[in-house]
Structure 1
Amino acid sequence: MARLEAEGWVPEKTKVLMLTHSVLAAEQGYPGIAEVFKGRNDQFVRKEDPVVKFSAEVIEPMCAAYLAGNYGEMFQIQGAAPSIKCHADKLSWRADMDQLVKLRREGSIGQVLDHLKKTGRPVLASRIVRRENDLDVLKDESIPQEMGALQRHAALREVPYSEILEVAKFVEGATPFATQHSVKGAEFENVLVVLGGGWNHYNWPQLLEFLETKKIPKNKSKSYYRSRNLFYVSISRPRKRLAVLATQTMSEIALKAATHLFGPEGVEELPLDQLN
């Protein structure tokens, strides 16, 4: 890290690229949401899930406006001016918003949805209402296997709403982290690419070995090209500075490939205690 700082790296202008959301979610504080949408990351990354979308685009902006005292903006986000005819109406709105703010910090996603179903401040999106109604119809019965979206919705209700806050930061680009899959076409001043293990589709030491030897077994061809393409997408994102952190042990052949790619001065072995 000292070397990077000496070369002009600053956290505010650095994007950290990781391979999977399982690692990123644990780091950023939304492991429960990542588990609910395991294998379907676009459901929350691209806000395709109605709860994630409504939370990021309505609940969070409304609460931010309320806490800042921008009540006109809050009602504009809601989409309609409220019917406030007396002081009691104002007190009712304040009580409901105060409770919503509290539930965002301390409650589950389900508790927030239940609160909004009761108050209508703001009114839930129709897709969320339909899923809530479907759950009510089933009551305590198990959700049929073919109703995958409803199963995920039920699981999402149990997740702390605080994870939504972290997801919202991620999808709006308010964190220094991203996945390598999500940055194609984007550029950043500084990029730190993390090549980690633990995922079957990608073996980074092996990729480097294949790049060096040019000997790619037929049964490894598909994984080689998939890994190579993702690797090149990742290392081509910086405008000025690039660092690649490999957390797996590299063979001599893999290190030779890294040296050819980044130069003798660009490859440095880190003690294990710096990777923990």
Structure 2
Amino acid sequence: MKTTEADEKIERCVEERKSFLLDAGAGSGKTASLIRTLNQIRGSQRRRLVANSQNVACITFTNVAKNEIIERTEGDDLFKVSTIHDFLWNSIKPFQNELKVAVELVNERLPAKSKRRKDPAELKAALAEVQGISYSDRGGNFLEGRIFHDDLLEVAQVMFKTYPMLSRLVAAKYPYIFVDEYQDTNEKVISSLLDCILVTKSPPVIGFFGDKMQSIYSDGVGELSEGYLAKLELIQKEENFRCATTVIDVLNGIRSDIKQKPAGQNPVGSAIYLNLHRANADEVVDVAKALVREKFSWQFADRDLRVLFLTHRLIARKAGYENLFAAYNQRGGFSQEQFQTGEDANGKFLCNEIDGLVTAWKSDDAGTVISLLHRNQRVVASKKDKKRVKEALDKLAALVVANASIGDVLKYVRDVDLLPLIDQLNYWLNPEVCGNIANDPESERDRTFFKALFSVPFREISAYRAVLERNLPYSTKHGVKGDEFDTVMVVLDDVGANWSQYSFGNLLAGSDLSEARLQRTRNLFYVSCSRARRNLAVVDLAAPGASISKIQKLFGKDNCVF
């Protein structure tokens, strides 16, 4: 990928030790710019950094991104590439006394009725007895000295704000800190970096790489505030290396802050709009495929088509986990979003541990079975152990085949001690221990959710997992972020959308009175359309109404079917 003007500006910032923010549109090669920056530092600063026992920190939003950067930098240990949570935990875990104080401070900030909040005196006494604070992905319990995924960001922020020495130590260890996909990073992390670490006497160069228009996670910072931007040099990257010129034109019509241009000999391609509100929802993809082939002469194999549903309802129905989707959809909030990304702790456990174990057993994959058991502290050594596990797995597989519910499967796994359940699942399997929750809306919502979850047939977990692992030709909005495909079909479904969060009809008509909802919908639409390398078809399931003229302006009159 060729060097751009933005790359040269980043290079100057690194040389002059100026912190910066790269805002770059879809397909612009943000990761390539990040890798180029890392290689620049490796070439000019490696000897000095190694001599001083220093490293370059690179913070990613996902493990997939982390692994990609490690691979593209040849696994060089000069670069400490880690997810946000790993970076924070590795920074604060050596300071156990301070960690205990931070946990107490975070506990005091919790609402009085929160079931997570502990009595301050009881917590202080309990923490005095525990050996140390640990970070667990199986659930948090302050009284046992365990913090969970969601606790870590706040605990770390309290640590950085309360103990300036921590910021100085991180700055000394990492003269360069780069954040990938800054828009998806929680504001607490941004604050720790810019309000604490950047203001030390010898601050690091902090570089943010991303695109505010591609912010689609509710807990991400999105666009940085003016106060944060004042501390950074803003760099824009206008090239698009990925998309056909017709797709770039649509993307430029969706956003106005960055006008992209083809980076080279981008193909012309095709970008069209199909309004199929009269079609049966279950048949709309087949109708759309026939239409683009007949009317627009698209030529593609079905295996090369990626269908992207902007709401989860239709994909859940097609894939076979509609009841599972309904349980999470009713719960709403952050948990619903984590379910869509595959990051919900309960969903991850059910998919990776339980369904993973059943699938491996049914496939005679003994290596994976043993690995999963060992990962969950279950050792199979003696003949007696092997016999017990075999009988348990045979029965577990039979339960799944017999269409047992998630609750029944979990109860069986717990009863035979096949795997340890994560805290939340274990807790809500025992409603008698829940106590009086009549005046606790948070616990009431949890009880309603887990009751619905446990009644879902376990086979829906397998179907959900197939979508997460991309074993089906369609995806959710979060499932393709960062990906690209030759031919993309984006399905708009206002009926399946959370009306308070998204409205595609109002976006296309330019009539949404909620600026926040308009921005969320625009971001989602932009991310989805920008996955197409050559051909893009937007399939709308809602009647067009007053949006026809604006749609024709965006796609071109000859490229629209109503």
Q: What TM-score bracket applies, with the shorter chain setting the length?
A: 0.7 to 0.9
Deviation, structure 1 residue 127 = 4.5
Q: Is residue 355–residue 461 contact of structure 2 (8 Å, CA) maintained in 1?
A: no
Deviation, structure 1 residue 220 = 5.1
Q: Is residue 65–residue 74 contact of structure 1 (8 Å, CA) maintained in 2?
A: yes
Once the two structures are aligned, what percentage of the paired residues are identical?
28
Does the alignment pair 1:31 with 2:322? yes
Distance across 2 between alignment mates of 1:149 and 1:42: 16
SS of 1:242's partner is: strand
Deviation, structure 1 residue 182 = 5.1
Q: Is residue 189–residue 240 contact of structure 1 (8 Å, CA) maintained in 2?
A: yes
Residue in structure 2 matched with residue 94 of structure 1 by the alignment? 390
SS of 1:121's partner is: coil
Pick from 333, 341, 347 the counterpart of residue 52 of structure 1.
347
Q: Which deviations, in whole Å up to 9, do the C-alpha atoms of 1:180-225 show, x marking residues without a partner? A: 3554433223211112232434444443333xxxxx68x4544444
Does the alignment pair 1:161 with 2:458? yes
Matched AA of 2:358 = C
Matched AA of 2:290 = A
Q: Is residue 143–residue 150 contact of structure 1 (8 Å, CA) maintained in 2?
A: no
Q: How many residues align?
A: 259
Residue in structure 2 matched with residue 70 of structure 1 by the alignment? 365
Residue in structure 1 matched with residue 382 of structure 2 by the alignment? 84
Evaluate the alpha carbon distance shift between residue 221 and residue 110 of structure 1 in structure 2; reply closer, same or farther with a 3 A threshold. closer
Q: Is residue 493–residue 540 contact of structure 2 (8 Å, CA) maintained in 1?
A: yes
Residue in structure 2 matched with residue 185 of structure 1 by the alignment? 482
Residue in structure 1 matched with residue 195 of structure 2 by the alignment? none
Evaluate the alpha carbon distance shift between residue 141 and residue 110 of structure 1 in structure 2; reply closer, same or farther with a 3 A threshold. farther
Deviation, structure 1 residue 235 = 1.4
Evaluate the alpha carbon distance shift between residue 82 and residue 195 of structure 1 in structure 2; reply closer, same or farther with a 3 A threshold. same
Residue in structure 2 matched with residue 230 of structure 1 by the alignment? 524
Distance across 2 between alignment mates of 1:140 and 1:160: 29
Q: Is residue 37–residue 43 contact of structure 1 (8 Å, CA) maintained in 2?
A: no
Evaluate the alpha carbon distance shift between residue 157 and residue 203 of structure 1 in structure 2; reply closer, same or farther with a 3 A threshold. closer
Does the alignment pair 1:261 with 2:561? no
TM-score for both structures, normalised by structure 1: 0.79
More helix by share: 1
SS of 1:82's partner is: coil
Q: Which has the larger radius of gyration?
A: 2
Residue in structure 1 matched with residue 228 of structure 2 by the alignment? none
Evaluate the alpha carbon distance shift between residue 224 and residue 185 of structure 1 in structure 2; reply closer, same or farther with a 3 A threshold. same
Deviation, structure 1 residue 116 = 0.5
Residue in structure 1 matched with residue 507 of structure 2 by the alignment? 207
Q: Is residue 65–residue 73 contact of structure 1 (8 Å, CA) maintained in 2?
A: yes
Distance across 2 between alignment mates of 1:222 and 1:76: 45
TM-score for both structures, normalised by structure 2: 0.41
The worse-fitting range, judged by mean Cα deviation, of 39-48 and 189-198 is: 39-48
Distance across 1 between alignment mates of 2:456 and 2:440: 21
Distance across 2 between alignment mates of 1:100 and 1:140: 34
SS of 2:442's partner is: coil
SS of 1:193's partner is: strand
Q: Which deviations, in whole Å up to 9, do the C-alpha atoms of 1:91-116 show, x marking residues without a partner? A: 44332212111222310001101110
1:99-138 matches, within 5 Å, as 99-105=395-401, 106-133=403-430, 135-138=431-434
Q: Is residue 143–residue 151 contact of structure 1 (8 Å, CA) maintained in 2?
A: no
Deviation, structure 1 residue 64 = 2.1
SS of 1:26's partner is: helix
Evaluate the alpha carbon distance shift between residue 143 and residue 85 of structure 1 in structure 2; reply closer, same or farther with a 3 A threshold. farther
Gap runs ≥5 in structure 2:
1-288
Pick from 542, 547, 550 the counterpart of residue 248 of structure 1.
542
Distance across 2 between alignment mates of 1:138 and 1:176: 42
Q: Which deviations, in whole Å up to 9, do the C-alpha atoms of 1:215-240 show, x marking residues without a partner? A: x68x4544444433332222111122
1:1-20 matches, within 5 Å, as 1-5=289-293, 6-20=297-311
Distance across 2 between alignment mates of 1:174 and 1:261: 33
Matched AA of 2:477 = Q
> How big is the alpha-carbon RMSD for the aligned residues of Structure 1 and Structure 2?
3.0
Residue in structure 1 matched with residue 468 of structure 2 by the alignment? 171
Residue in structure 1 matched with residue 221 of structure 2 by the alignment? none
Q: Is residue 411–residue 429 contact of structure 2 (8 Å, CA) maintained in 1?
A: no
Q: Is residue 181–residue 230 contact of structure 1 (8 Å, CA) maintained in 2?
A: no
Q: Which deviations, in whole Å up to 9, do the C-alpha atoms of 1:4-30 show, x marking residues without a partner? A: 455223332322222322333223222
Q: Is residue 195–residue 246 contact of structure 1 (8 Å, CA) maintained in 2?
A: yes
Distance across 2 between alignment mates of 1:186 and 1:95: 42
Distance across 2 between alignment mates of 1:185 and 1:90: 43
Evaluate the alpha carbon distance shift between residue 72 and residue 140 of structure 1 in structure 2; reply closer, same or farther with a 3 A threshold. farther
Deviation, structure 1 residue 158 = 1.1
